[in-house]
A and B are shown apart, each in its own frame.
Chain A
Amino acid sequence: MDKLDSETPYLLQKRGISRREFLKFCTVMAGTLALPGDFVPRIAKALEQTKRPPVIWLEFQDCAGCTESLLRAHSPTIAEIVLDVLSLNYHETIMAPSGFQAEQSLKDTVAAGGYLTIVEGSIPTADDGVYCCIAGRTALDILEEVASNTAAIITVGACAFYGGWPHASPNPTGAVGVKDIISDVPIINLPGCPPNADNITATVVHYLTFHSLPETDDLGRPLFAYGMRIHDNCERRGHFDAGEFVRQWGDEGHRKGWCLYQMGCKGPIAFHNCPSIRWNEGTSWPVGAGHGCFACAAPYFWERPIYEPVDIWEGRTPPTTYAPAEVPAAAWQMNVGLAAAAGAAGLAVGAAAGALAGQRAAKKGSSGEEEEES
């Protein structure tokens, strides 16, 4: 077998990927990372490096939801990740060997160094960590060994971030996140239950492109994915501001896409890019599908009952109605005559329009009930 040609464009071509498609992918990545367009060539270059960075993916007290989420990745796809972008040397859910041969892959990668570690699932610490053993060793022991020679750790999901639901009161197994055990290695946290595939792949691409980890908040979460409040980017914010709330599942407001705050939506305290990128290649997201957010990227989110409205006004009474944006039909007709009858007529128009607007606001109110006929 001839040695690999180091010209990646040639390899891409052999795979049937045109230069145009490759650059399109890099453009999508740049968009996801909120980078200006002139970063596209940098991303392209990073991905053209032919030695793929080795990765160890560890699973502890997990449900494998984060792995499944990654399987939904589309730019790059999971096939591209495994074959072209990374060298995923250890991943129990998809690797070929079992038993000691699987552990050999782990040992060899750790010994060689220069790898990224991705952790999914919480680590139990009670009773010396017996609540999660793999190949006869505790998760705690495995994590400490793998962390000892890794370039960086990326945690995926709530469990590896802070302990997730295993950590939820009363935390029977002493479950904690990676940051509670490892302190001398750079850690990036990608919480979510599960995290969005796009954010996982974007973080990897960021690392490959810039050879550094993205800017994070004080919880170690990348700003490009967790920097903004859901409530501030929500497509239903206008309904919140206008006092249009779903009151019962299936009511008229529900069918019209009104705000889910009264049904327990935690958007006001959730920091996650779900409204911007959505899930499953932009198909939908919880609020968009009619159920409130439960802030699954926040620490300890399981302690907040999902149907209880979150407290956000700190003692103030929020306004329940604003003037609606729509202009009553009668006002349009008055406007037609405005040019011909400026001045005094203009005042009358304003007053009439205001009166009509006031009536409409009173009708809509904050209920989801049918509007009365006027």
Chain B
Amino acid sequence: MAERIVIDPITRIEGHLRIEVQTEDGQITDAWSSSTMFRGIEMIFKGRDPRGAWAMAQRICGVCTTVHAVTSVRAVENALGITIPDNARILRNLIAGIQQVQDHVIHFYHLHALDWVDITSALKADPEATAKLAQSISDWPKSSADYFRAIKEKLESFVASGQLGIFANGYWGHPAYKLPPEANLMAVAHYLEALDWQREVIKVHAILGSKNPHPQTYLVGGMAIPLDPDSEKAINADQLAAMRSLFVKAKEFVEKVYIPDLLAVAPFYLEWAGYGEGLGNFMACGDFPDRTATQFLPPGIILNRDLGTVHPLDQEKVAEYVTRSWFEYSEGDEVAKHPWEGETIPHYTGPQPPYELLDIEGKYSWIKAPRYDDRPMEVGPLARMLVAYASEHPRVKEVVDAVLDKLGAGPEALFSTLGRTAARGIETLVIAEQLVSWLDELATNMAEGNLQIHNGEKWDPETWPAEAQGWAFHEAPRGMLGHWIRIKEGKIENYQCVVPSTWNASPRGAKGQRGAYEAALVGTPLADPSQPIEVLRTIHSFDPCMACAVHVVDGSRREIVQVRLDGCM
């Protein structure tokens, strides 16, 4: 007998997500993903100064802070034909690079881990055995029996207080938890260490960009942090040294804690290499351009899980449906519109709150349904690593193969919840390894007397054409992000974002195709509908960011002569 289960709120994500699933005989047979919050940024942007759009766009999300800011300035630069100085390119790579690394580590420990780690089981761990386990997987120094004993005692007194706070009412003791107590205790210790680590390494954002979250440093045309080895008020050797230390610290934690933990935990959950991926289509726009505009992570598309072919990416093939979303199109619900032709007319037709169930036969989400060439796509670390792997990126290939080898699995294991989780770790390592060399690029420029951070030729709106339109991509931690802008008389005429979680959390479109979350859940077992840990494992593997996901479409339907369409710089 089919049963409908509702999980709302999905916690340990950014934003507001509701998942409804249909189950039959202990297995999920269908799923619906709904974002339940809308703000309307496209209406708010209209009429504002494009040079300041990055600041407001950045506030679309504070978890993936920086991503909308950089995409925004890139889109305006694209529209106006502005080339940024080389130093600005490097500064953006450094900020985006440490963002990826810190964000992914936080995700693994603070958002995802509790799906795999049973904290109550850690209370039964033997500290000596835990030390042995930790030392067998890594030479990370915090691994003594006394250390784990202290963590265990801390946990005991916390539990004994009777005030479990955020850990109350968890699915503790669920049979799907497979780790031995020692692994659980080690994970708790690392959860706490990661909390300290994330606070430290993100200081790079403060050094280069004033603060985190929401660095106040982006400019259309470049970046605002001055560089000058001979000034105490600019980036000089002192700040370069400070950043180098932080990058080393960042990489060390990834190498010695995050990756070993992933590899230690994965073997207990190998069955999760068989669930959690349903579309088979993956898309990456690539990012981290070098001086020649070659992106460190390549763009491309994988279709039908075929790693033998990487298809090129063309932004013109992006379009969105509102068929099953709480919006209207003037041409009706069956059409998909490219961002430049899009409309946003919010129209809530869902159940009146308080409600028990969504109307899953009708419209059921604040998220529009983006499609590429009329196909639903998955974006994010798995997409990026698959595209890089299939593109023969040497380091990605090396690390992916090493991980698969360690787990005794073939590449087909990547198309799963476990694969997605591992891909996030692999990507974190690969980027963490680049940070110092990118810093060296900056130092080399400075040594040669190149201190330029901003191209101000078109800073003054008087230098702009009467109308212009542009677009840009960025690889946010959660996947491919795109902004499209139309400028008229120096003001924003239209602005649109198609965000990674829009792709992944997409509802059906006109053709009834499920989005990535929905497709990933079909076929997943569900042992106990009242404790749907299996749903959380897969949904969390996507790292949902729902404030981002809610679509923003421009309101203009007028044709504008295209000034220029450039690549993703």
Contacts and interface: CB of A to CB of B under 8 A. Distances in A.
Interface centre among A98, A255, A281 (most CB of B within 10 A): A98
A69 B15 CA distance: 16
A66 to B, nearest CB: 7
Interface in B478-497: none
Interface in A195-209: none
B234 interface: yes
A79 B192 contact: yes
A95 interface: yes
- With most chain A CB atoms within 10 A of its CB, the pick from B10, B38, B159 is B38
Given A69-B213, A249-B456, A255-B228, A280 B206 contact: yes
Contact of A88 (B110, B165, B217, B453): B165
A129 B38 CA distance: 11
B523 interface: no
A82 interface: yes
A1 B156 contact: yes
Interface in A53-96: 54, 59-69, 71-74, 77-79, 82-83, 86-96
Given A74-B199, A97-B168, A291-B217, A83 B12 contact: no
Nearest to B51: A307
Interface string A134-148: 111110010000000
A141 B209 contact: no
B105 interface: no
A10 B170 CA distance: 29
B171 A97 contact: yes
A169 interface: yes
Contacts, number: 318
A288 interface: yes
What's the interface size class on B, roughly?
35 or more
A305 B43 CA distance: 17
A257 B234 contact: yes
Interface in B53-87: 55-56, 59-63, 65
Interface stretch (A11-19, A23-31, A32-40): A11-19
Interface stretch (B128-136, B291-299, B346-354): B346-354
A290 interface: yes
A161 to B, nearest CB: 14
Contacts of B160: 1-4
Contacts of A284: 206-207, 210-211
Given A99-B7, A136-B356, A172-B44, A64 B16 contact: no
A42 interface: no
B308 to A, nearest CB: 38
Interface residues of A, number: 100
B36 A279 contact: no
B114 to A, nearest CB: 5
A166 B547 CA distance: 12
B221 interface: yes
Interface string B441-456: 0000000000111101
Contacts of B38: 124, 131-132, 173
B39 interface: yes
Contacts of B37: 60-61, 131-133
Contact of A15 (B154, B212, B224): B154
Given A131-B366, A255-B228, A290-B210, 8 more contacts: A54-B163, A71-B199, A93-B14, A96-B11, A99-B8, A134-B16, A256-B233, A289-B217
Interface of A: 1-4, 11, 14-16, 50-52, 54, 59-69, 71-74, 77-79, 82-83, 86-99, 101-105, 124, 127-138, 141, 164-166, 168-173, 175, 193-194, 248-250, 254-257, 279-281, 283-286, 288-291, 294, 302, 305-307
5 contacts: A61-B37, A131-B37, A168-B44, A290-B234, A306-B52
Top-8 shortest CB links A-B = A65-B62, A257-B233, A172-B40, A96-B170, A279-B211, A289-B210, A283-B206, A249-B454
